[in-house]
Amino acid sequence: MNRTELVSNIFRKKSVLCVGLDTDLTKIPTHLLKEEDPAFAFNKAIIDATKDYTVAYKINTAFYEAQGIRGWISMERTLNYIPKDIFTIADAKRGDIGNTSEQYARTFFHTYPYDSVTIAPYMGADSVKPFLQFDGKWSIVLGLTSNAGSADFQLQQCGSELLYQKVLRTVASWGHPGNIMFVIGATRKEQLQEVRNLLPEHFFLVPGVGAQGGDVATVCRNAFNNDAGVLVNVSRGIIYAGNGTDFADQAEIAAQNYQQEMEAFF
């Protein structure tokens, strides 16, 4: 999906909601465990309930890889079920030497045709650039994350700037705002505007809203640009909004509430 298509969908739905499908078999409603493919049964119901309010789905591959081949099958079925006009993210956080990154890129852009994949940039340009060779695909590079451990490296001084600022500025030069996004944690409220000033045109994938303490208004107020420019990820706050037989109805209500918050900024 190219930038024009993504932006068009955002403004049509007046939403920047990304639903995270972090599907944990120990947390889904117990009645689904009787299904042949419990993870897919859960995801299918969540997608049906939320697709009118979201512009992206983020599949956290760890929750599927942990299940072995069964999990990979569930992931593929889920990816294929997502409507084609909704942006898809493989939250895989890959990044390795060049020839290995080439294979990771083929995995998530060809074998499993996601629109984007998250990437750890620690190994430098040759670990990221192979992902940028695929037209219409996006690399979502870790920039400023919302976990406590981000202070160990990202917030350390690196010459005249902080390390995460150097990462953002350097990685942005390897591609363009139509093929590179950055992960910017929503709990870093005081830094959202600073990052937007540094990268006025790029999209940000913003985790941390809901369970981690971030809020929609702060993200939209400080990080929006002319194309909206953000995808606000909510996982637990939507997919686990209910745990009974009405779990999908509760997920729909939660997704609609988030979308209505976002609509105020269009």
What are the tens digits of pLDDT across the range 133-182? 999 999 999 999 888 898 899 889 999 999 999 999 999 999 999 999 99
Q: Answer whether 0.75 is exceeded by the pTM.
A: yes
Give 23-37 pLDDT, tens digit per residue.
999 999 999 999 999
Mean pLDDT lowest for which of 33-37, 170-174, 183-187, 222-226? 183-187
pLDDT score of 214: 76
Long-range contacts of 9-13 (CB under 8 A, 24+ apart): 9/55, 9/85, 9/86, 9/87, 10/55, 10/227, 10/228, 11/228, 11/266, 13/52, 13/53, 13/54, 13/55, 13/259
Catalytic (active-site) positions: 93
pLDDT higher than threshold 70 for residue 212:
no
How far is the C-alpha of 152 from the C-alpha of 33, rounded, in Å? 40
- Determine the 3-state secondary structure of 132 from DSSP: helix
Q: Which residues form the domain of 92?
A: 3-263
Give 61-94 pLDDT, tens digit per residue.
999 999 999 999 999 999 999 999 999 999 999 9
Q: Do 145 and 154 touch, CB atoms closer than 8 A?
A: yes
pLDDT higher than threshold 90 for residue 102:
yes
pLDDT higher than threshold 90 for residue 16:
yes
Which residue, 9, 51, 4, 16, is CA-closest to 265?
16
How far is the C-alpha of 94 from the C-alpha of 6, rounded, in Å? 23
* Summary mean pLDDT of the chain: 95
* CATH number for the domain harbouring residue 119: 3.20.20.70
Q: Do 245 and 32 touch, CB atoms closer than 8 A?
A: no
Give the total number of structural domains in the chain.
1
